[in-house]
């Protein structure tokens, strides 16, 4: 039975994150190792920067000097990642890298879980999880790509929009 791929963090020289990621992807493709090294991820976020009273959106690395790799750890995969130019090693003891836990992967938002929903904009739904559990509202906006739904509920006699994850809401019977 093949081992399941896990996420590992690779340390790089500052500013080499994208170069390490692209070199690793090329090496994996050239050597046909997609089954061992499955994904390479450089976490980034888009922020709005105001400079000289002008707004512009800038993409910024969430963890500078780190690349996250999903792979099955073998001597070969370890050697390939470790010897990419700009890579200084794995996070963890030098002999054995430590994989991220499921909780850490979920918190980092690396793996997007795809959720099928049975409701649509305009439907009446009930909130099934979180502090607003059992509140009833109407779906205003649905974004399955980013895993969120905007629901308008009545709170303190006012209509209030709230953003929730897709699996926190179910259609009313």
CA torsion angle 122 118 131 107 (round to 10):
-120
Cβ atoms 100, 39 nearer than 8 A: no
Position of tokens 């992967």?
Answer: 105
39 exposure class (CB count in 10 Å sphere: 0-12, 13-18, 19+): middle
What are 42-71's pLDDT values in tens digits? 988 888 888 888 888 888 888 899 999 999
- 3: Cβ contacts below 8 Å, ≥ 6 apart: 72, 73
User: Domain total for the chain?
Assistant: 2
Is 86 part of a structural domain of the chain?
yes
The CATH number assigned to the domain holding 133 equals 2.30.30.30
80 and 44, same structural domain? yes
Cβ atoms 160, 152 nearer than 8 A: yes
Provide the domain limits for residue 75: 6-108
CA 19 to CA 68: how far, in whole Å? 13
pTM attached to this predicted model: 0.64
57 and 132, same structural domain? no
Is 1 part of a structural domain of the chain?
no
The CATH number assigned to the domain holding 22 equals 3.30.70.940
What are 100-132's pLDDT values in tens digits? 888 888 777 776 666 778 888 899 999 988 888
């Amino acid at each position: 039975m093949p081992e399941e791929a896990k996420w590992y963090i690779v340390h790089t020289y500052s500013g080499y994150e994208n170069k390490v990621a692209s070199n690793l992807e090329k090496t994996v493709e050239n050597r046909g190792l997609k089954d061992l090294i499955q994904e390479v991820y450089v976490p980034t976020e888009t922020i709005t920067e105001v400079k000289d009273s002008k707004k512009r959106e800038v993409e910024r690395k969430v963890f500078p000097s780190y690349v996250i790799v999903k792979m099955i750890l073998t001597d070969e995969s370890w050697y390939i990642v470790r010897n990419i130019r700009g890579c200084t090693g794995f996070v963890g003891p030098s002999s054995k890298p430590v994989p991220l836990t499921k909780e850490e992967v979920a918190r980092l938002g690396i793996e997007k879980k795809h959720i099928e929903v049975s409701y649509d904009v305009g439907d009446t739904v009930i909130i099934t999880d979180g502090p607003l559990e059992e509140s009833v509202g109407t779906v205003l906006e649905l974004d399955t790509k980013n895993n969120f739904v905007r629901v308008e509920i009545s709170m303190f006699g006012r209509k209030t929009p709230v953003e929730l994850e897709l699996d926190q809401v179910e259609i009313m019977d």
